[in-house]
């Protein structure tokens, strides 16, 4: 393939991955609203389970922690729904005001999600103890850093740097959703092997950073492939993104059938 063809392949593969991620994230956001939002409305706040990091999303004994995790979940839902819209070039070109305002909402939601998670960690601590506290705090701080840098470069009209940080932010944002996807998939397809109720098993330990570090590495590969003149770098990025997109599409389909679909149907249709 010629270099322009590789550039086009990188662009289209990246767009396809973002589209699949958005569709999957939107389904997961609907699940969060149906499951956790419905739990709050019903007053049945113990509906959550340990594998989804919210055994009780409202606990009067730890009000700050409850507010923090509530802010994290609500802002995270906004992020999942708005994220890919920020990356669509034709929308940016045709409706720049929409891009700017939705970008402000997106960045604000990222900061709120990160801050809410940090409040929860400080006020109550995660179920997995110190190791999980540290990993999740790093993730929350990374969200805030990426959002702040994306806004800072946009205001300074350094648009290449702005886009790079926006892509990094998107890669981080989907980490929270991937964490839950990976745990749900592991429970459904592997019976939760290596997972413990206190989140200190070998699978839990691996997941402390696996849910966001590989995303950042893939984002960096994409950013470098767009600039690189080397065919091997572009081919590597295309193969990595294409494989991730296919795996994500299959996993989303299976999880919708086995895990997300029933709670959504029950909330929407009383099934």
The string of pLDDT tens digits covering residues 177-189 is 888 888 888 888 8
| Top-confidence range, 42-46, 150-154, 240-244 | 150-154
| CA nearest to 105, candidates 73, 72, 137, 83 | 83
pLDDT of residue 195: 94
The string of pLDDT tens digits covering residues 94-105 is 888 888 899 999
Asked if residues 10 and 222 have their Cβ atoms less than 8 Å apart, the reply is yes
Take residue 118 and report the two structure tokens written for it.
Answer: 């940090």
Take residue 241 and report the two structure tokens written for it.
Answer: 């993104």
* Dihedral pair phi/psi, residue 55, rounded to 5°: -60, -30
pLDDT more than 90, % of the chain: 33
| CA nearest to 120, candidates 108, 105, 132, 106 | 132
Name the average pLDDT for the chain.
82
Span of 38-42, 94-98, 202-206, 209-213 with lowest mean pLDDT: 38-42
Q: What angle do CA 256, 257, 260 make, to 5 degrees?
A: 40
């Amino acid at each position: 393939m010629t270099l322009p063809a590789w550039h086009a392949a990188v662009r289209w593969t990246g767009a396809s991955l973002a589209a699949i991620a958005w569709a999957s994230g939107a389904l997961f956001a609907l699940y969060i609203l149906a499951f956790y939002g419905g739990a709050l409305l019903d007053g049945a706040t113990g509906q959550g389970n340990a594998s989804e990091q919210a055994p009780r999303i409202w606990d009067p004994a730890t009000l700050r922690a409850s507010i923090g995790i509530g802010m994290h979940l609500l802002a995270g839902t906004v992020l999942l729904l708005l994220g890919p819209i920020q990356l669509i070039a034709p929308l940016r070109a045709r409706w720049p005001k929409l891009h700017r305002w939705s970008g402000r909402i997106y960045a604000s939601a990222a900061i709120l999600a990160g801050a809410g998670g940090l409040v929860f960690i400080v006020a109550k601590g995660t179920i997995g103890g110190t190791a999980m506290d540290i990993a999740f705090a790093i993730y929350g701080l990374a969200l805030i850093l990426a959002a702040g840098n994306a806004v800072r470069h946009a205001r300074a009209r350094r648009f290449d740097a702005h886009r790079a940080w926006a892509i990094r932010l998107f890669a981080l944002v989907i980490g929270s959703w991937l964490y839950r996807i990976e745990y749900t998939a592991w429970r459904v397809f592997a019976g939760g092997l290596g997972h413990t109720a206190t989140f200190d098993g070998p699978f839990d330990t691996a997941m402390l950073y696996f849910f966001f570090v590989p995303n950042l590495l893939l984002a960096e590969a994409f950013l470098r492939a767009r600039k690189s003149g080397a065919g091997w770098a572009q081919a590597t990025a295309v193969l990595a993104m294409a494989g991730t997109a296919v795996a994500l599409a299959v996993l989303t389909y299976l999880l919708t059938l086995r895990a997300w679909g029933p709670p959504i149907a029950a909330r929407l249709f009383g099934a």
